Amino acid sequence: MPNIAVVLKEEILRLARKEVRQQTGVLRKASAQYRRDIAEMKRRLAQLQRKLAPLQKQVLRGAAAPAAETDGQRVRFTAKGLRAQRQRLGLSAANYGKLVGVTGQTIYSWEQETSRPRRQQVARIAALRHLGKREALARLAPPARGGRK
């Protein structure tokens, strides 16, 4: 004859396992649904990024094209000229980079002649040639918020 304590212990374990299985089943289903939702969001994000890339290129191409055709001539680039222009404006490499649309490290690399700007970037640099100190600083300043006076 089995011991009552052993039988009671086994019955408690069986009921506990049954309850845990029920509770984890709900969580498993929810977790699987969350994974499916995340996977769908990742697919949608990738699809949107693929659509966005050509549009960004088109916008950058459109912005650089008018600057390159200022005099109908091809624009030359020299590291010495870039350095002189940046110093004339009194800007750091980082701030000058913001005006051109690149990082300060990129400006430094161009000035040290370890790399060269692309055609669109040369066009943007050329567009900044007739810029004065005040106008350059105004372009760098954050836009003023409307509201309080």
CA dihedral 137, 138, 139, 142 (to 10 degrees): 100
pLDDT of 132 reads 86
pLDDT of 2 reads 72
pLDDT in tens, 33-82: 999 999 999 999 999 999 998 888 888 776 555 544 444 567 788 889 99
pLDDT in tens, 91-148: 999 999 998 999 999 999 999 989 999 888 898 898 888 888 888 888 888 766 655 5
Distances (CA, A) of 138 to 22, 106, 124, 143: 65, 22, 17, 9
pLDDT of 73 reads 62
Is this prediction's pTM over 0.75? no
Structure token digits, residue 19: 């309850």
